[in-house]
Structure 1
Amino acid sequence: MSRLGPVLTLAAGAVLAAGLGVASVTAAPVADRTATASTTGNTKSPESTKSPENAANDQTARPAEGTPRATPSPTRTAKGPAKADYGGHVDRNGGLIAISVRGDKAVGYFCDGRSEAWFKGDAVGGKVGLAGFGGAAAGATLGDGKAKGWLKVGGKRWTFDAPVVRKPSGLYRATAQVRGAKIRAGWIVLKRPQGGFTQVGAAFAGEEQIQVPELDGERPTEPVTAGEATLYPKDVDGFIEEMR
């Protein structure tokens, strides 16, 4: 995983649909939220026993019941925005969380430099309910331009306030195939008020964690190289349907 800085870390599944459709929990090196750019380490914590891809193959996470709907955007309904992206820091953790709402569906990603998790769920009535692999879960209430909620990963629980963000800030994911090995990577990108970007994410080649490449903060969908693979990052609109 990378460190908090313009670049950081992610996860997913055996087939993109399977990998994304399930939240995974994985380990990574400690993040540094002050850096503008960072390098990726391959350290894994005891919390993680499987790569995101294998986790996705083993179990399909079920969305939490009574899931609320996500964030702000110009498009709104009586029950909340129909399309919105949120991103922010997790309290007392130092990691980042990103949540995206499209209609009544929501996806999320969390990474703190030690653990990461992908989530999927529902957005209903101004609330979001998300579930992930291994008991990972999150919930949030949407309003006042932010998603305010809680997060549980690896048996630990935190809270967060994630403001609405607009591109290039947001959640990104990429996959590729190299000599039979599935390469997958994901990022949260957040623009800093003082300038520059903070990023966090993770990358894997099969089950092996590899250094996550840094995205161009202003153009995060530009191709990047991970090992021998060229990756083409997609924003949420490019992969959310694969998570259903």
Structure 2
Amino acid sequence: MSRLGPIVTLTAGAVLALGLGVASITATPAADNTAATANDTETASQAPEETPEGTETAAAEPSPSPTDTPTFEESTPPAPKKADYAGRVKGNGGLIAISLRKGKAVGYFCDGKIEAWFKGDAGSGDLELEGFGGAKVTAELAGGKATGQVAVGGKKWSFVAPTAVKPSGLYRASAIVRGARVRAGWIVLKRPQGGFTQVGTAFQDDKRVPIPELDGDSPTSPVSVNGTTVTPEDVDGFIEEMR
């Protein structure tokens, strides 16, 4: 369990085409013309010319221009339809989580002082997610991990976030109680040596309140946020609200 200090919120959002064309064009040479006799000339004036039997004439086809030659083009592989990534942010100590569902992506970054939500499209393996106030995540999805940078509050850090397997991942809870909106977000990351690292934030309206710890083995169990019971959801429960 990693519990980090007061925060400032910035909230938000191939296949190689191998083309090698080889055009082989052969033109059959036209047959030699035989000089016409005087009688032939007279006959020709009365009847149409006939192509000598057995002689074929083929029009030569134009050779392809240099611009017709196919070139090698590289495209980015598509993003997975469903995937979850979570890991540490280098040089910052915070955590980042990114989840993809059917062409859409959401992300959350928190280090205990700064937090930000992100969203965007996930059509390819190159992600660009936007957050509030110019916050941004860029990442490449390859080799079972998301590798990239997160920029928040004028600062930028790099990260490598491996594929996350539940209960690791991104969680959120929200409720409206007596006219006040309660919301909270968590990243849960299982440690190789056992136990869990967690980071998150909670607010009642715009006021930060203490963040409760999730049950690492059952992170969707109800918890109390500033005296209000809320039920955390994994990303499948709230990604539609962020689109």
Q: TM-score, normalised by structure 2?
A: 0.71
- 1:124: Cα distance to partner? 2.0
Counterpart residue identity of residue 198, structure 1: T
Instruction: Give me the whole-angstrom Cα distance separating, in 2, the residues matched to 1:143 and 1:185.
Output: 30
Identity %: 61
Q: Which runs of 5+ in 1 are unaligned?
A: 9-30, 32-40, 56-60, 64-77
Instruction: Say whether residues 1:84 and 2:83 are aligned partners.
Output: yes
Aligned to 1:223: 222
Where do residues 7-22 of structure 1 align in structure 2 (5 Å cutoff)?
Answer: 8=3
Q: Hey, which bits of structure 1, 4+ residues long, moved more than 4 A?
A: none
State the secondary structure of the residue aligned to 2:221. coil
Q: TM-score, normalised by structure 1?
A: 0.71
Instruction: Give me the whole-angstrom Cα distance separating, in 1, the residues matched to 2:196 and 2:227.
Output: 26
State the secondary structure of the residue aligned to 1:184. strand
Instruction: Give me the whole-angstrom Cα distance separating, in 2, the residues matched to 1:178 and 1:243.
Output: 21
Instruction: Say whether residues 1:134 and 2:114 are aligned partners.
Output: no
Instruction: Give me the whole-angstrom Cα distance separating, in 1, the residues matched to 2:211 and 2:236.
Output: 22
Structure number with greater Rg is 2
Instruction: Give me the whole-angstrom Cα distance separating, in 2, the residues matched to 1:87 and 1:114.
Output: 19
What value does the CA root-mean-square deviation take over the aligned residues? 1.5
Instruction: Give me the whole-angstrom Cα distance separating, in 2, the residues matched to 1:80 and 1:228.
Output: 41
Higher relative contact order (CA 8 A, sep 6+): 1
Instruction: Say whether residues 1:239 and 2:224 are aligned partners.
Output: no
Instruction: Give me the whole-angstrom Cα distance separating, in 2, the residues matched to 1:227 and 1:112.
Output: 21
Instruction: Say whether residues 1:123 and 2:146 are aligned partners.
Output: no
Instruction: Give me the whole-angstrom Cα distance separating, in 2, the residues matched to 1:183 and 1:158.
Output: 29
Where do residues 1-244 of structure 1 align in structure 2 (5 Å cutoff)?
Answer: 5=1, 8=3, 31=4, 43-44=6-7, 48=8, 79-244=78-243
* Contact map agreement 1:96 1:112 (CA 8 A) in 2: yes
Q: Which runs of 5+ in 2 are unaligned?
A: 14-76
Instruction: Give me the whole-angstrom Cα distance separating, in 1, the residues matched to 2:202 and 2:164.
Output: 23
- Matched length: 180
* Contact map agreement 1:177 1:229 (CA 8 A) in 2: no
